[in-house]
Protein backbone atom coordinates (compact mmCIF):
# COMPACT_ATOMS: atom_id res chain seq x y z
CA UNK A 1 0.00 0.00 0.00
CA UNK A 2 1.03 3.63 -0.24
CA UNK A 3 2.04 5.12 3.10
CA UNK A 4 2.89 8.74 3.79
CA UNK A 5 5.26 9.02 6.77
CA UNK A 6 5.60 12.44 8.39
CA UNK A 7 8.89 12.75 10.26
CA UNK A 8 10.38 10.04 8.03
CA UNK A 9 13.87 11.60 8.25
CA UNK A 10 13.88 11.28 12.04
CA UNK A 11 15.14 8.52 14.29
CA UNK A 12 12.03 6.33 14.51
CA UNK A 13 10.34 7.49 11.28
CA UNK A 14 13.37 6.63 9.13
CA UNK A 15 13.67 3.15 10.64
CA UNK A 16 9.98 2.68 9.83
CA UNK A 17 10.43 3.92 6.24
CA UNK A 18 13.22 1.38 5.60
CA UNK A 19 11.06 -1.46 6.91
CA UNK A 20 7.96 -0.40 4.95
CA UNK A 21 10.00 -0.30 1.73
CA UNK A 22 11.51 -3.72 2.51
CA UNK A 23 7.93 -5.04 2.83
CA UNK A 24 7.14 -3.75 -0.67
CA UNK A 25 5.07 -0.71 0.31
CA UNK A 26 5.32 2.61 -1.54
CA UNK A 27 6.52 5.34 0.80
CA UNK A 28 6.28 9.12 0.73
CA UNK A 29 8.11 11.19 3.36
CA UNK A 30 7.21 14.68 4.56
CA UNK A 31 9.80 16.20 6.89
CA UNK A 32 11.15 19.71 7.46
CA UNK A 33 14.55 18.35 8.58
CA UNK A 34 14.35 20.39 11.81
CA UNK A 35 15.73 17.46 13.82
CA UNK A 36 15.64 14.81 11.10
CA UNK A 37 18.65 14.16 8.89
CA UNK A 38 19.04 13.91 5.15
CA UNK A 39 21.39 10.93 5.63
CA UNK A 40 18.50 9.00 7.25
CA UNK A 41 16.35 9.33 4.13
CA UNK A 42 15.88 6.19 2.11
CA UNK A 43 16.34 7.11 -1.58
CA UNK A 44 13.56 4.68 -2.53
CA UNK A 45 11.01 6.91 -0.78
CA UNK A 46 9.73 10.11 -2.39
CA UNK A 47 10.78 13.01 -0.18
CA UNK A 48 9.09 16.39 0.35
CA UNK A 49 11.03 18.82 2.49
CA UNK A 50 8.08 20.59 4.06
CA UNK A 51 6.64 21.68 7.37
CA UNK A 52 3.46 19.82 8.35
CA UNK A 53 1.84 23.23 8.97
CA UNK A 54 2.47 24.34 5.37
CA UNK A 55 -0.69 24.95 3.28
CA UNK A 56 1.21 23.36 0.36
CA UNK A 57 0.82 20.02 2.11
CA UNK A 58 -2.50 19.92 0.24
CA UNK A 59 -0.63 19.56 -3.05
CA UNK A 60 1.48 16.69 -1.73
CA UNK A 61 -1.64 14.82 -0.61
CA UNK A 62 -3.48 15.51 -3.88
CA UNK A 63 -0.53 14.25 -5.92
CA UNK A 64 0.38 11.24 -3.79
CA UNK A 65 -3.04 10.02 -2.57
CA UNK A 66 -1.70 7.80 0.24
CA UNK A 67 -3.89 5.06 1.68
CA UNK A 68 -2.41 5.37 5.18
CA UNK A 69 -0.71 8.30 6.90
CA UNK A 70 1.78 7.53 9.65
CA UNK A 71 2.32 10.67 11.72
CA UNK A 72 5.71 10.74 13.43
CA UNK A 73 6.57 14.43 12.85
CA UNK A 74 6.43 16.38 16.09
CA UNK A 75 8.03 18.89 18.35
CA UNK A 76 9.31 16.35 20.84
CA UNK A 77 11.77 18.27 22.98
CA UNK A 78 10.13 18.35 26.42
CA UNK A 79 12.32 21.20 27.67
CA UNK A 80 11.56 23.31 24.60
CA UNK A 81 7.84 22.62 25.12
CA UNK A 82 8.07 24.04 28.65
CA UNK A 83 9.99 27.12 27.46
CA UNK A 84 7.89 27.73 24.34
CA UNK A 85 4.46 26.05 24.67
CA UNK A 86 3.14 28.10 21.73
CA UNK A 87 5.67 26.56 19.36
CA UNK A 88 4.93 23.09 20.77
CA UNK A 89 1.20 23.56 20.20
CA UNK A 90 1.71 24.93 16.67
CA UNK A 91 3.62 21.86 15.53
CA UNK A 92 1.86 19.18 17.57
CA UNK A 93 -1.71 20.46 17.34
CA UNK A 94 -2.05 22.80 14.33
CA UNK A 95 0.40 20.69 12.29
CA UNK A 96 -1.61 17.57 13.08
CA UNK A 97 -4.91 19.25 12.17
CA UNK A 98 -3.43 20.24 8.80
CA UNK A 99 -2.46 16.60 8.24
CA UNK A 100 -5.89 15.29 9.30
CA UNK A 101 -7.77 17.81 7.12
CA UNK A 102 -5.74 16.65 4.14
CA UNK A 103 -6.44 13.02 5.03
CA UNK A 104 -10.18 13.69 4.88
CA UNK A 105 -10.01 15.66 1.61
CA UNK A 106 -8.04 12.89 -0.07
CA UNK A 107 -9.93 9.85 1.25
CA UNK A 108 -7.04 8.52 3.33
CA UNK A 109 -8.24 5.31 4.99
CA UNK A 110 -6.30 5.50 8.23
CA UNK A 111 -3.92 7.62 10.29
CA UNK A 112 -1.43 6.14 12.75
CA UNK A 113 -0.73 8.80 15.36
CA UNK A 114 2.33 8.64 17.59
CA UNK A 115 1.75 9.64 21.19
CA UNK A 116 3.82 9.18 24.32
CA UNK A 117 3.14 6.73 27.15
CA UNK A 118 5.92 8.45 29.08
CA UNK A 119 4.17 11.83 28.85
CA UNK A 120 0.37 11.50 28.85
CA UNK A 121 -0.04 9.66 32.18
CA UNK A 122 2.09 12.04 34.23
CA UNK A 123 3.57 10.39 37.33
CA UNK A 124 1.68 7.07 37.25
CA UNK A 125 -0.35 6.14 40.31
CA UNK A 126 -0.11 2.45 39.40
CA UNK A 127 2.46 0.45 37.46
CA UNK A 128 2.64 -0.75 34.83
CA UNK A 129 0.45 2.10 33.52
CA UNK A 130 -2.29 0.74 31.27
CA UNK A 131 -4.31 2.74 28.74
CA UNK A 132 -7.11 3.36 31.26
CA UNK A 133 -4.73 5.08 33.67
CA UNK A 134 -5.85 8.69 34.37
CA UNK A 135 -4.41 11.20 31.90
CA UNK A 136 -2.40 13.80 33.82
CA UNK A 137 0.40 15.20 31.68
CA UNK A 138 2.79 17.49 33.50
CA UNK A 139 4.35 19.07 30.37
CA UNK A 140 2.92 21.01 27.40
CA UNK A 141 4.32 18.18 25.22
CA UNK A 142 2.18 15.61 27.08
CA UNK A 143 -0.82 17.91 26.75
CA UNK A 144 -0.40 18.37 22.98
CA UNK A 145 0.17 14.64 22.44
CA UNK A 146 -3.07 13.84 24.26
CA UNK A 147 -4.87 16.63 22.40
CA UNK A 148 -3.67 14.98 19.17
CA UNK A 149 -5.26 11.70 20.27
CA UNK A 150 -8.59 13.45 20.82
CA UNK A 151 -8.43 15.04 17.34
CA UNK A 152 -7.93 11.59 15.86
CA UNK A 153 -11.05 10.44 17.72
CA UNK A 154 -13.02 13.43 16.42
CA UNK A 155 -11.99 12.78 12.80
CA UNK A 156 -12.99 9.15 13.11
CA UNK A 157 -16.41 9.87 14.57
CA UNK A 158 -17.27 12.76 12.25
CA UNK A 159 -15.25 12.02 9.09
CA UNK A 160 -14.86 8.21 9.24
CA UNK A 161 -11.06 8.53 9.15
CA UNK A 162 -9.81 5.42 10.96
CA UNK A 163 -6.93 5.71 13.42
CA UNK A 164 -4.62 3.88 15.78
CA UNK A 165 -2.76 5.77 18.51
CA UNK A 166 0.59 4.31 19.58
CA UNK A 167 1.82 5.57 22.95
CA UNK A 168 5.54 4.84 23.01
CA UNK A 169 7.77 4.20 25.99
CA UNK A 170 11.40 5.37 25.72
CA UNK A 171 12.51 4.30 22.28
CA UNK A 172 16.21 3.63 21.70
CA UNK A 173 18.26 2.19 18.85
CA UNK A 174 20.27 3.00 15.71
CA UNK A 175 20.01 6.65 14.55
CA UNK A 176 18.86 7.90 17.90
CA UNK A 177 19.91 11.30 18.95
CA UNK A 178 21.12 12.18 22.47
CA UNK A 179 18.42 14.88 22.70
CA UNK A 180 15.32 12.67 22.39
CA UNK A 181 13.12 11.18 25.09
CA UNK A 182 15.35 8.14 25.50
CA UNK A 183 18.49 10.17 24.86
CA UNK A 184 20.22 8.73 27.92
CA UNK A 185 21.11 5.55 25.97
CA UNK A 186 22.93 7.59 23.31
CA UNK A 187 24.53 9.77 26.00
CA UNK A 188 25.90 6.77 27.93
CA UNK A 189 27.18 5.10 24.75
CA UNK A 190 29.00 8.29 23.71
CA UNK A 191 30.40 9.03 27.17
CA UNK A 192 31.75 5.49 27.69
CA UNK A 193 33.15 5.30 24.14
CA UNK A 194 35.22 8.42 24.93
CA UNK A 195 36.34 6.89 28.24
CA UNK A 196 34.63 9.67 30.19
CA UNK A 197 32.76 9.43 33.49
CA UNK A 198 28.99 9.00 33.09
CA UNK A 199 26.60 10.87 35.39
CA UNK A 200 23.60 9.20 37.00
CA UNK A 201 20.95 11.74 37.98
CA UNK A 202 18.76 10.68 40.89
CA UNK A 203 16.27 12.00 43.41
CA UNK A 204 16.97 11.99 47.17
CA UNK A 205 14.53 9.08 47.53
CA UNK A 206 15.58 7.04 44.54
CA UNK A 207 16.24 6.72 40.84
CA UNK A 208 14.28 7.39 37.70
CA UNK A 209 12.86 4.36 35.97
CA UNK A 210 11.77 4.12 32.34
CA UNK A 211 10.41 1.59 29.85
CA UNK A 212 13.13 1.23 27.18
CA UNK A 213 11.81 -0.27 23.96
CA UNK A 214 13.95 -1.07 20.94
CA UNK A 215 13.20 0.83 17.73
CA UNK A 216 12.99 -2.38 15.66
CA UNK A 217 10.11 -3.56 17.86
CA UNK A 218 8.40 -0.16 17.65
CA UNK A 219 8.59 -0.36 13.86
CA UNK A 220 6.90 -3.78 13.93
CA UNK A 221 4.03 -2.30 15.97
CA UNK A 222 3.58 0.35 13.26
CA UNK A 223 3.48 -2.33 10.58
CA UNK A 224 0.80 -4.25 12.50
CA UNK A 225 -1.19 -1.01 12.88
CA UNK A 226 -1.54 -0.69 9.08
CA UNK A 227 -4.35 -3.23 9.27
CA UNK A 228 -5.11 -3.73 12.97
CA UNK A 229 -5.87 -1.75 16.14
CA UNK A 230 -8.70 0.26 14.59
CA UNK A 231 -9.87 3.13 16.83
CA UNK A 232 -7.57 2.10 19.70
CA UNK A 233 -5.01 3.78 21.95
CA UNK A 234 -2.16 1.35 22.55
CA UNK A 235 0.92 1.44 24.75
CA UNK A 236 4.09 0.32 22.98
CA UNK A 237 6.77 -0.60 25.50
CA UNK A 238 8.11 -3.70 27.21
CA UNK A 239 6.06 -3.81 30.44
CA UNK A 240 9.32 -3.48 32.42
CA UNK A 241 10.98 -0.57 34.16
CA UNK A 242 14.74 -0.08 34.12
CA UNK A 243 16.49 2.31 36.50
CA UNK A 244 19.26 4.60 35.28
CA UNK A 245 21.88 2.57 37.19
CA UNK A 246 20.60 -0.69 35.69
CA UNK A 247 20.70 0.90 32.25
CA UNK A 248 24.23 2.15 32.80
CA UNK A 249 25.36 -1.29 33.98
CA UNK A 250 23.86 -2.85 30.84
CA UNK A 251 25.54 -0.26 28.60
CA UNK A 252 28.87 -0.89 30.40
CA UNK A 253 28.54 -4.64 29.73
CA UNK A 254 27.84 -3.90 26.06
CA UNK A 255 30.84 -1.58 25.79
CA UNK A 256 33.15 -3.74 27.93
CA UNK A 257 33.79 -0.82 30.29
CA UNK A 258 33.62 -0.47 34.05
CA UNK A 259 33.80 3.23 34.77
CA UNK A 260 32.54 4.39 38.16
CA UNK A 261 29.75 6.93 37.59
CA UNK A 262 29.33 10.23 39.38
CA UNK A 263 25.94 11.07 40.85
CA UNK A 264 23.96 14.25 40.35
CA UNK A 265 20.58 15.60 41.44
CA UNK A 266 17.71 14.93 39.03
CA UNK A 267 15.77 17.96 37.81
CA UNK A 268 12.50 18.45 39.64
CA UNK A 269 9.40 18.18 37.48
CA UNK A 270 10.44 15.04 35.62
CA UNK A 271 8.46 11.86 35.93
CA UNK A 272 10.20 9.55 38.32
CA UNK A 273 9.01 6.09 37.58
CA UNK A 274 7.08 4.87 34.57
CA UNK A 275 6.60 1.72 32.57
CA UNK A 276 3.75 0.57 30.41
CA UNK A 277 1.32 -2.32 30.32
CA UNK A 278 1.40 -3.74 26.78
CA UNK A 279 -1.43 -6.26 27.10
CA UNK A 280 -3.79 -4.27 24.90
CA UNK A 281 -1.24 -4.02 22.06
CA UNK A 282 -0.61 -7.77 22.38
CA UNK A 283 -4.33 -8.43 22.06
CA UNK A 284 -5.28 -5.92 19.37
CA UNK A 285 -2.12 -5.81 17.24
CA UNK A 286 -0.87 -9.34 17.84
CA UNK A 287 2.41 -7.65 18.68
CA UNK A 288 4.98 -8.04 21.39
CA UNK A 289 8.55 -6.78 21.70
CA UNK A 290 11.17 -9.36 20.70
CA UNK A 291 14.40 -7.56 21.57
CA UNK A 292 15.67 -7.57 25.14
CA UNK A 293 17.71 -4.69 26.51
CA UNK A 294 21.07 -6.45 26.06
CA UNK A 295 20.41 -7.27 22.38
CA UNK A 296 18.99 -3.84 21.66
CA UNK A 297 21.92 -2.05 23.31
CA UNK A 298 24.35 -4.23 21.40
CA UNK A 299 22.74 -3.29 18.07
CA UNK A 300 22.68 0.36 19.04
CA UNK A 301 26.34 0.34 20.14
CA UNK A 302 27.27 -1.41 16.86
CA UNK A 303 25.59 1.38 14.91
CA UNK A 304 27.42 4.09 16.89
CA UNK A 305 30.73 2.22 16.38
CA UNK A 306 30.21 1.94 12.61
CA UNK A 307 29.26 5.60 12.34
CA UNK A 308 32.32 6.65 14.30
CA UNK A 309 34.52 4.56 11.98
Ligand X SMILES: NC(=O)c1ccc[n+]([C@@H]2O[C@H](COP(=O)([O-])OP(=O)(O)OC[C@H]3O[C@@H](n4cnc5c(N)ncnc54)[C@H](O)[C@@H]3O)[C@@H](O)[C@H]2O)c1
Q: Which residues are catalytic?
A: 141
What DSSP designation does 118 have? Answer: T
Q: Does 165 bind ligand X (CB under 6 A)?
A: no
d(CA 14, CA 22): 12
* Candidate segments 111-119, 126-134, 184-192, 199-207, binder of ligand X by CB under 6 A: 111-119
Q: How far is the CB of 176 from ligand X (least distance, A)?
A: 7
Q: Does 140 bind ligand X (CB under 6 A)?
A: no
Contact with ligand X (CB under 6 A): which of 180, 241, 289, 296? 180
DSSP string, 255-292: HT--PPPEEEEPPTTS--B--B--HHHHHHH-------
180 versus 229: smaller Cβ distance to ligand X: 180
Distances (CA, A) of 309 to 39, 192, 305: 16, 16, 6
Alpha helices in the chain (DSSP H): 11-22, 57-64, 78-83, 85-89, 96-105, 140-159, 183-193, 215-224, 244-255, 279-285, 293-308
74 versus 108: smaller Cβ distance to ligand X: 74
Q: How far is the CB of 82 from ligand X (least distance, A)?
A: 15
d(CA 242, CA 251): 12
Q: Does 173 bind ligand X (CB under 6 A)?
A: no
Contact with ligand X (CB under 6 A): which of 5, 17, 36, 219? 36
Distances (CA, A) of 277 to 72, 109, 178: 22, 28, 26
Q: Does 99 bind ligand X (CB under 6 A)?
A: no
Q: Does 274 bind ligand X (CB under 6 A)?
A: no
Contact status, residue 298 vs residue 266, Cβ threshold 8 Å: no
Q: Does 35 bind ligand X (CB under 6 A)?
A: yes
d(CA 15, CA 174): 8
Contact with ligand X (CB under 6 A): which of 4, 5, 17, 51? 51
Q: Does 72 bind ligand X (CB under 6 A)?
A: yes
Q: How far is the CB of 159 from ligand X (least distance, A)?
A: 22
Residues contacting ligand X: total by CB under 6 A: 33
Residues 5-24 that bind ligand X (CB under 6 A): 6-7, 9-13
* Candidate segments 32-40, 56-64, 184-192, 301-309, binder of ligand X by CB under 6 A: 32-40
13 versus 198: smaller Cβ distance to ligand X: 13
36 versus 198: smaller Cβ distance to ligand X: 36
Q: How far is the CB of 71 from ligand X (least distance, A)?
A: 7
Q: Does 224 bind ligand X (CB under 6 A)?
A: no
Binding-site ranges for ligand X (CB under 6 A): 6-7, 9-13, 31-36, 51-53, 72-76, 91, 95, 114, 116, 118, 168, 170-171, 177, 180-182
Amino acid sequence: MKVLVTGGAGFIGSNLVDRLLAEGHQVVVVDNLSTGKRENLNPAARFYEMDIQDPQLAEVFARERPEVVNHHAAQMDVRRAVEDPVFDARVNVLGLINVLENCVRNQVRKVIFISSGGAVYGEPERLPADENHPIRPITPYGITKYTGEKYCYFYRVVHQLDYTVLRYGNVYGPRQDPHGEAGVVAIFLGTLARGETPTVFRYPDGEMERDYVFVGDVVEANLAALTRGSGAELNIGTGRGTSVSELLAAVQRTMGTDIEPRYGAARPGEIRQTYLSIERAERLLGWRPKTNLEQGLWETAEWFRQRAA
